Structure formats: structure tokens, C-alpha cells
Amino acid sequence: MKNIEVLFLCGAFTINHEMEIINKSKRQVEQAANAFQIKLIDGLLLKENVNLSIISAPFIGPYPKSYKDIYFKGFETNSNLNEFEYVHFNNIWGLRNFSRTIALRKAIVKFAKLESNSKCIIIYSPHTPLLEAAVKAKEIDDRIKICLIVPDLPQFMNLSSGSRLLYDLLKKIDIMRFRNLSRKIDSFVILTKEMKSQLRIGERKYLVIEGVAGDSSYNSIYMKKKNSNNTIVYTGKLNEIFGVLNLVLAFELIQDINLRLVICGNGELEKTLRDYSKIDSRINFLGQIPITEAKRIIRDATILVNPRQNNELYTKYSFPSKIIDYLSSGNPVIAYKLDGVPEIYDNFLNYVEDNSINSLKNKIEAILNSLNSEEILSKSAAAIEYFRIERRPEQVVAKIIDMIETC
């Protein structure tokens, strides 16, 4: 087995820096994206024949509306991963992508000039500054293979509502630039099969992998908590398009005074959810919290709900990462059948019959009344077994490296 030099080009940050980012952020922190990247890094570190380097331009929000720092120059706290190299960049909206591109192109030269016949760059996300840097490296050494991991298509990377004329114009320009740069990519990892045509992959190599499970995913199994309140949980972005408000309205229809609804995250519905929590004491809105705390809440939940409905075009090209996080807890998960979710998940998820608020309310009540049934327990066990066999970080990374080496 020959050694391969791998550069992971990304927007990740270590858990040491999470609270600093949360404290400086004015809008939602990309915790799901960060968790995905850290799992991939864990897998790469476990691969014996991989010599890993990491260059990151962290996925923080732009100044002034989403982040407090005008200029990103690293973190105040130390990292426990020496492999990370954080680039510095101007964080002002409208300028920051240019600054990120320049910084990344400079940082990547050392890897590009490394003497090796086996080098590859794995890029997380179709973020043009990352692609610009990878293509620059390939111009320096054309032996470098580029693999792009696409968690979301560029046109669906911001699903907040509201008027954004300038943003939409810049996004169109960015998508055109991405399509031009993507011609230099040798292989792809996509989350849904529908992404292939949109990305114009053609005859190039690709893998469809919906996500990566964490190390604890296959160690737990659902056990009903004795003498605890029945708790419904949602964690993630609070954009209206994701159906969080529908979950609140369905919960309001349930009369059980011992039931609790816990919501974590932030976004455009934050004020609305705070208002509901003041009216109904059973609703606990926590806002943005550290990922370790979110994991604890997910683990201790009675039922987890992904209220995203299958009524938008983007669902073909998206796999909600929270589904893996939820199922990994061993707790029952309620969801809608989404086009982007593989059929195997039919064996794990408890689907809502239709898009009405009443159907969501009925499904929550039905699961609450059958928590220890054979059907519910077998779904939880099947999900954990699937993640143990197919979606551990080292298994996913092994498939990616094997694909790259055959390009």
C-alpha cells in the first residue's frame, strides 16, 4: 500500500474554537458542516497510508451582520490538532471571498511543491475560494488529483427568506465561476444521486455517500428513560423553509401537560420561537448552543423530529445531516420522506403521512404511545447497525481514497 499525500482544504474549526465562534457570531454557526468535516478528518487520521495536511478558511459569517471580526487572524484559543493551518482573511461582506482566495492560494503553494508522485486535494464544499486554491496547486503540479465533496449545491447553500437582490446577483456570478473551476476536478463525493447531472460530472469518478456517522453512532441503543418527561427535540437552522414552525404548531395541538418541546439553533424564526416559549411553558427554546450540549440533548430526547417537508426543489439535492445525528442516538426519529434520502432510510425513519399540521401531531402521539414496541426498537437498532457497517469515518474515507487512486 503506497503512501499518499492528502491536503484537506476546508472551512473546519476544532471544538476548542467553537465557543469563540458562537460568541462572535450574530447568526447561525455552521455546526453541521463543521461536524461533517471533523468526522472526515478523523477518518483521514486513521488511514495508515495517508500523510495528512489541513488548510482551513473557517466557515464563519461575514462582517458586519453575521460576525463581529472585520479581519480573521486565527483563534485566541489553542487547537489540539497541529495539522490545522488557518488562513487569515478580510471578513467584510463583498470583499471576503477575494481575500480568502488570495490567502488560500498562498497557503497551498507548499503542498503543491511537495515532491511526491501521489498527491491529492480533498475539498469540502463547492466554495469558490477553496476551488481557486486547488486549481492553482494543480497548475503548479499537474499530478495532483482534486476530489470535491459536495454537501449542498451552490444555488441551495443559503435558503433564508427575504429580499436579497445584490446577494442573488453575486451568487449567479459565483455559480458561473464554480462551473468553470469544476472542470478541473477529477472526482466527486455527492450526497444524493440527483446531484450528478447538476454538477455535470459526466464520465468522471464519483461516490454517493449521504454522510458520516460519529464514533458513538454504533455504541448506543434506544432505552426508554424511566421517570423522565417526554421530550420532543429539534436541533439545527431555524429557517422557515425547514418546517420548524410546523413542528411548534403541531406540538401546540397536543394537550399533554407533561410533554416538552426543546428547540436548539438560530436563524430567521428565532424571535417567533422565543415568543411561543413565553406563551407555552412546555416549549424550551435554547438558541445556539455548543455541539457537545446539542449531542447530550439529542441523546436524552424521547423523540427527535426533522420537520423538513418534501415540497421544495432543493430536497432532491440535499441530505439533512441531522438525520444521521438523530438516528445515531438510538431514539425514534420522525421525518418526512424526502427525495434526497436513500431508500434504506425507510427502514429507520417514522414518516409523517402528509404535510398537514394534524398529521405531524398524530405521528408524534402515535410514537409516544408505542415507544417500546418491536417496530420502533427494531428501526433504531437497524439504523445503528447500518452506520456501524457502512458509515464510520474510516470506512467512508477508505472509499474516497480508493476512488481517488483509480482516477
Q: What's the CATH number where 382 sits?
A: 3.40.50.2000
Residue 158: pLDDT band by 50, 70, 90 thresholds?
Answer: low
Of all residues in the chain, what percent carry a pLDDT higher than 70?
92
Burial of 244 (0-12, 13-18, 19+ CB in 10 A): buried
**The predicted structure's pLDDT at residue 82:** 56
pTM: 0.92
Task: Quote the number of domains for the chain.
Answer: 2
Q: Mean pLDDT of all residues in the chain? A: 91
Q: What cell numbers appear for 276 in the block? A: 411561543
Instruction: Report pLDDT digits (tens) over 350-388.
Output: 999 999 999 999 999 999 999 989 999 999 999 999 999
Q: What cell numbers appear for 214 in the block? A: 460519529
Across the range 225-232, mean pLDDT stands at 65
Neighbours of 283 (CB within 10 A): 21
Are residues 82 and 29 located together in one domain of the fold?
yes
Residue with cell 415507544: 371
Are residues 245 and 373 located together in one domain of the fold?
yes
Are residues 25 and 157 located together in one domain of the fold?
yes
Are residues 340 and 224 located together in one domain of the fold?
yes
Instruction: Report pLDDT digits (tens) over 303-330.
Output: 999 999 999 888 999 999 999 999 999 9
Interatomic CA distance for residues 98 and 100, integer angstroms: 6
Are residues 366 and 245 located together in one domain of the fold?
yes
Residue 197: pLDDT band by 50, 70, 90 thresholds?
Answer: very high
3-state secondary structure of 26: coil
Are residues 359 and 270 located together in one domain of the fold?
yes
Are residues 171 and 245 located together in one domain of the fold?
no
**The predicted structure's pLDDT at residue 224:** 45
3-state secondary structure of 310: coil
Are residues 274 and 235 located together in one domain of the fold?
yes
Are residues 298 and 371 located together in one domain of the fold?
yes
3-state secondary structure of 357: helix
Q: CA-CA-CA-CA torsion for 373, 378, 380, 381, nearest 10 degrees? A: 140
Are residues 208 and 258 located together in one domain of the fold?
no
Written as one letter, the residue type at 364 is: I
Are residues 241 and 299 located together in one domain of the fold?
yes
Across the range 218-225, mean pLDDT stands at 46
**Do 54 and 37 touch, CB atoms closer than 8 A?**
no
Question: Can you give the residue range of the structural domain that contains 261?
Answer: 215-389
Are residues 268 and 177 located together in one domain of the fold?
no
Whether 286 has a pLDDT exceeding 60, the answer reads yes
User: In this predicted model, which residue has the larger pLDDT, 82 or 401?
Assistant: 401
Which residues contact residue 51 at a Cβ distance below 8 angstroms, ignoring those fewer than 6 apart? 3, 4, 5, 6
